[in-house]
């Protein structure tokens, strides 16, 4: 194949910019994985490859909501705090009434399904609060969601008195987190993640709702003039993001049978990083859930190879930052070249 053909393959054709960036990031992933395999012993083993995907299920679940919001040009930094709040609430609702002298062991004694339902409602409530400030009062999303992050985490700290609740829980509380495919390391949360990604992919590509999200991001004024109720879409997306954080919080709490006020610290940044790695642009209506999923695997290749090279945990902050910058610049460069 001569160079012209290659160029035509890259620039022409019917491939959209989004698919192009997703493919580009898959290429980056392959290269990163190859590099990591050649440096870190045993990196290429199937079990390790599986772990790369399964260990970060929560980032992908959060990333779905964050991706849709970022496509509309809005941030959600409250997901980490929301995870802590939902987990703590699920535990608090489930704990028996007057079961022990320790106040942290006493809860409301609700049946498990009701407790979970209420906790998820609260998570969606946090999303609704975000939506009210952002869609109705037009306050910048970054400031509002940083505020609700503090409120959610603060509420979790108040309920747990700054520590955690893990006493007096019924056995059924731990079931969700421990279910899985027998004989493998694949557990229920991973299956939830896969199901959610598939649903999100269909919503994004095949529904009116999904396509309108892109229009809102590309040009909110045009979206409004063409009859889209932008405020209602943003509200739906923030409540969705809250619900996803809630699901994550409930599953993590079930996995460890405890509600910790510090759980989920920094997850909002991870979710944002993988979204950016997946090629979502805040500048307007661009990006995809699939790209975000690829971004998550890239991030987990980078961080887990750093762990494999015995770098201290503190390196992860620097690695995440550096990878994000490189990804943003590389994607922009690639898109510019493609446009020619």
Partner 1 sequence: MNNANKATLQLQLDRSANVRAVVKQFYIYVVLALIVLVFSVLKLDKTPLFGRGSFLSPDSVINLLRTAVPILTLSGAFTLLMISGYIDLSVGSALSLSAVVFAWLILNGFSFWPAILLTLMMGIGLGAINGYIVMKLRITPVIATLVTLNLFKGIARLIVPKGVSAIKSSATQTMPGWINDFARKEVFLGLPAAFWIAVLVIIVLVIVQRQTLLGKYAAAIGGNRLAAELSGINTVRMVWLLYIIVGFFAALAGVARASYMSLGDPLAGEGMELDCIIAVLLGGTAFSGGEGSVAKTIVGALIIACVTVGLMTVIPAFWQTVAKGSVLVGAVVLNHLLVREKVKA
- Among the listed ranges 99-107, 147-155, 228-236, 285-293, the one in contact with partner 1 (CB under 8 A) is 147-155
Per DSSP, the three-state class of 164 is strand
Question: Hey, how many other C-beta atoms are within 10 angstroms of the C-beta on 329?
Answer: 10
Among 158, 172, 181, 199, binds partner 1 (CB under 8 A): 158
Using the minimum distance from each CB to partner 1, give the nearer residue, 104 or 193.
104
Q: Does 172 bind partner 1 (CB under 8 A)?
A: no
Using the minimum distance from each CB to partner 1, give the nearer residue, 155 or 216.
155
In the stretch 105-144, what mask flags binding to partner 1 with x, by CB under 8 A?
----------------------------x---x-xx-xxx
Q: Does 75 bind partner 1 (CB under 8 A)?
A: yes
Tell me how far, at minimum, the Cβ of 36 lies from partner 1, in Å: 20
DSSP assigned state of 133: I
- The C-alpha atoms of residue 41 and residue 186 are separated, in whole angstroms, by 23
Using the minimum distance from each CB to partner 1, give the nearer residue, 114 or 143.
143
- The C-alpha atoms of residue 299 and residue 305 are separated, in whole angstroms, by 10
Beta bridge partners of 337: none
Pairing type for strands 164-165 and 259-260 reads: antiparallel
Q: Does 161 bind partner 1 (CB under 8 A)?
A: yes
Q: At what angle do helices 112-131 and 79-94 cross, to 10 degrees?
A: 150
DSSP assigned state of 282: T
- The C-alpha atoms of residue 224 and residue 231 are separated, in whole angstroms, by 9
Kindly report the backbone phi and psi dihedral angles of residue 208, in degrees, each rounded to the nearest multiple of 5, phi listed first: -60, -45
- Among the listed ranges 61-69, 234-242, 267-275, 302-310, the one in contact with partner 1 (CB under 8 A) is 267-275
Tell me how far, at minimum, the Cβ of 270 lies from partner 1, in Å: 10
- The C-alpha atoms of residue 182 and residue 186 are separated, in whole angstroms, by 8
Using the minimum distance from each CB to partner 1, give the nearer residue, 100 or 158.
158
The gap between the terminal CA atoms of the chain, to the nearest Å, is 20
Using the minimum distance from each CB to partner 1, give the nearer residue, 10 or 328.
328
Task: In the chain, count H helices and then E strands.
Answer: 15, 2
- The C-alpha atoms of residue 229 and residue 226 are separated, in whole angstroms, by 9
- Among the listed ranges 7-15, 200-208, 292-300, 324-332, the one in contact with partner 1 (CB under 8 A) is 324-332
Among 31, 102, 184, 315, binds partner 1 (CB under 8 A): 315
Spell out the residues 6+ positions from residue 41 whose beta carbon is closer than 8 angstroms to its own.
308
Tell me how far, at minimum, the Cβ of 208 lies from partner 1, in Å: 28
Using the minimum distance from each CB to partner 1, give the nearer residue, 197 or 234.
234
Among 12, 13, 111, 162, binds partner 1 (CB under 8 A): 162
Where does this chain bind partner 1 (CB under 8 A)?
75, 133, 137, 139-140, 142-144, 146-151, 153-155, 157-158, 160-162, 261, 269, 272-273, 276, 282-283, 312, 314-322, 324-325, 328-329
């Amino acid at each position: 194949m001569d160079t012209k053909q290659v160029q035509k393959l890259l620039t022409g054709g019917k491939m959209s910019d989004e698919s192009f960036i997703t493919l580009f990031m898959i290429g980056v992933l392959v290269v990163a994985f190859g590099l990591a395999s050649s440096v870190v012993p045993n990196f290429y083993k199937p079990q390790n490859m599986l772990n790369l995907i399964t260990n970060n299920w929560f980032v992908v679940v959060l990333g779905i909501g964050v991706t849709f919001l970022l496509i509309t040009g809005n941030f959600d930094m409250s997901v980490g705090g929301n995870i802590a709040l939902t987990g703590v609430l699920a535990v608090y609702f489930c704990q028996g009434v007057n079961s022990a002298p320790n106040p942290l062991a006493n809860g409301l004694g609700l049946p498990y399904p009701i407790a979970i339902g209420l906790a998820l409602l609260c998570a969606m409530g946090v999303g609704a609060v975000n939506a009210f400030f952002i869609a109705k009062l037009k306050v910048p999303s970054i400031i509002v969601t940083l505020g609700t992050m503090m409120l959610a985490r603060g509420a979790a700290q108040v309920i747990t008195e700054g520590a955690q609740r893990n006493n007096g829980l019924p056995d059924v509380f731990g079931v969700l987190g421990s279910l899985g495919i027998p004989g493998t390391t694949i557990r229920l949360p991973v299956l939830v993640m896969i199901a959610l990604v598939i649903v999100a992919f269909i919503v994004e590509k095949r529904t009116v709702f999904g396509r309108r999200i892109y229009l809102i991001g590309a040009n909110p004024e045009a979206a409004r003039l063409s009859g889209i109720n932008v405020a209602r879409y943003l509200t739906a997306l923030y409540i969705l993001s809250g619900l996803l954080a809630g699901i994550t919080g409930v599953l993590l709490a079930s996995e460890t049978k405890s509600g910790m006020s510090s759980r989920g610290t920094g997850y909002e940044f991870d979710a944002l990083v993988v979204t950016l790695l997946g090629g979502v642009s805040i500048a307007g209506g661009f990006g995809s859930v699939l790209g975000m999923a690829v971004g998550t695997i890239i991030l987990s290749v980078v961080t887990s190879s750093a762990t494999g090279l015995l770098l201290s945990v503190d390196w992860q902050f620097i690695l995440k930052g550096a990878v994000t910058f490189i990804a943003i610049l590389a994607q922009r460069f690639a898109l510019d070249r493609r446009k020619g």
